[in-house]
Amino acid sequence: MTPPTPDAIRGAVDARRDEIVQMLLDIVGISSVTGNEGDVQRWVATALTGFGLDVDSFTSSREEIADYVTHVGEQPSYDDRPSVVATRTGAGGGQSLMLAGHVDTVPVEDRSKWTFAPEGEVAGDRLYGLGSTDMKNGVIAAMVVPRILEDLGITLKGDLLVNTVVGEEDGGLGTMSTILHGYKADGIVITEPTYQRVGIASGGSLVFRITVTGKAAHGANRNDGVSAIEKFVPIFLDLLAWEAERQRTIMHPLYDSFANKFPISVGKLRSGDWASTVPDKLVAEGRLGFIPGESMEGMMEQAQARIAAVAEQDEWLREHPPLLEFFSGQFVAEEIAPDHPLTLAMLKAHKEINGEDTEIFALTAGTDARLWIHFADRPALLYGGGVFHMAHQSDEYLEIEPFLNSIAVLTQMAIDWCEIA
């Protein structure tokens, strides 16, 4: 059959406009803060089954994730946190495509800061609600694409998979679980809120803890003690110097426009318990960023060496070396090439529907794309209609037009990538 025109694809999306917006309102209305995703995943599985897809739903266990726990984080619970994979089987002979998204959201921090209902509300051309942009709109887009293909009477050669996952905000449990359950595709598009730009690189991060030891004394005899705070100062200044040095010397075409490519941020300091006592201990916790091309292990070694070099300059620290530890979820940095076939196909699909080019970009934050690239050796990128800067904000909203448009683009992408049978 001849491929549908971009207008026909957009028309098929518009014909289901009310139903799609209602689906988004429904899913936003189901609370799914990270760790409590059971209800929303049952809703997703039921809807996808109703669309005629083969639906699989599975949970993970502590044992299964054990080898990957540094990458996806320790989970308080694995119970009732299913991942869902739905398959629209192709006729054969084409590439497979997976459309993927996370159903979990961060909690509502302060309800009084919300003008609109976090449970979902349409106002004008926007849909407000917790998770509306990050990223329940992307989940609905992924779910609806097979339906639009059905409306257009299209059979694809390659399989089209829809994957909805849990635990993304916390490190990526659901995506790791999907990989470990053997699911894969020749290309993965994660429908995160990129506002219809193509995200091809995810930054890495290490969460660290530095413990500095001092010697307690009465503040009135402070020369008898050693302040752990004073001993931390040169370490802290060196972290900032290292950040600046990296910014100057390490280049990457997708990151060079960032004012800070490698944010090193100390987010928590704890020291002392009495105003007139010299503190004998300081604990600093923070986050160290890095970019694709840099390995996680290499960054850990560099950080160790850097702190050891500072300690070497100081008699006390030489004898009482600061302790550096890494804890919580650690994110590897991964990317696919700007001219990777998946990138090119995504750019082309966007242009076919919109008549103009979009841009590629990189993130300093980590995304689930890194897990597909790193652990499954599969190309993954981000493309969605949500508003990027509204993620994790009060009055989080989605603009309905770009959202509907993203569904048309993703349908075009499925047609181009999997090919019409």
Q: Which residue has the tokens 């996370």?
A: 102
DSSP 419: -
- Shortest distance, position 396 Cβ to Zn ion, whole Å: 11
- Shortest distance, position 169 Cβ to Zn ion, whole Å: 7
Please pick, among 37, 134, 159, 168, the residue that the annotation labels catalytic: 168
- Shortest distance, position 168 Cβ to Zn ion, whole Å: 6
Which one, 278 or 410, has the nearer CB to Zn ion?
A: 410
Which one, 134 or 170, has the nearer CB to Zn ion?
A: 134
Which one, 136 or 378, has the nearer CB to Zn ion?
A: 136
- Shortest distance, position 100 Cβ to Zn ion, whole Å: 11
Which one, 105 or 411, has the nearer CB to Zn ion?
A: 105
418 in helix, strand or coil?
helix
CA-wise closest residue to 134 among 390, 343, 317: 390
Cα–Cα distance, 382 to 312 (Å, whole number):
44
From the CA atom positions of the chain, what is the Rg in Å? 24
- Shortest distance, position 377 Cβ to Zn ion, whole Å: 23
Which one, 135 or 166, has the nearer CB to Zn ion?
A: 135
Cα–Cα distance, 202 to 199 (Å, whole number):
8
Which one, 190 or 303, has the nearer CB to Zn ion?
A: 190
CA distances from 164 to 48, 107, 161, 189, 406 (A): 11, 19, 10, 12, 17
Decide if 104 is catalytic: yes
DSSP-derived secondary structure for 283-314: EEEEEEEE-TTS-HHHHHHHHHHHHHHHHHT-
Cβ atoms of 158 and 97 closer than 8 Å: yes
Which one, 279 or 384, has the nearer CB to Zn ion?
A: 384
Please pick, among 104, 134, 169, 416, the residue that the annotation labels catalytic: 104
In the Cβ-directed half-sphere of 237, how many Cα atoms lie within 13 Å?
8
For residue 18, give the H/E element and its range. Answer: helix 17-28
Q: Which residue has the tokens 């075409």?
A: 253
- Shortest distance, position 105 Cβ to Zn ion, whole Å: 9
Cβ–Cβ contacts within 10 Å for residue 309, how many? Answer: 10
Which one, 135 or 179, has the nearer CB to Zn ion?
A: 135
Residues making contact with Zn ion (CB under 5 A): 134-135, 192
- Shortest distance, position 367 Cβ to Zn ion, whole Å: 7
- Shortest distance, position 371 Cβ to Zn ion, whole Å: 14
* Residues facing residue 334 across a β-bridge: 202
> Cβ-count burial of 18 within 10 angstroms (0-12 exposed, 13-18 middle, 19+ buried)?
exposed
Cβ atoms of 219 and 231 closer than 8 Å: no
Give the largest CA-CA distance in the chain. Answer: 88
Cβ atoms of 362 and 201 closer than 8 Å: yes
161 in helix, strand or coil?
strand
Cβ atoms of 330 and 296 closer than 8 Å: yes
Residue 389 has φ and ψ, to the nearest 5°, of -75, -5
Cα–Cα distance, 195 to 217 (Å, whole number):
57
Decide if 192 is catalytic: no
Cβ atoms of 168 and 102 closer than 8 Å: yes
Q: Which residues are catalytic?
A: 104, 168
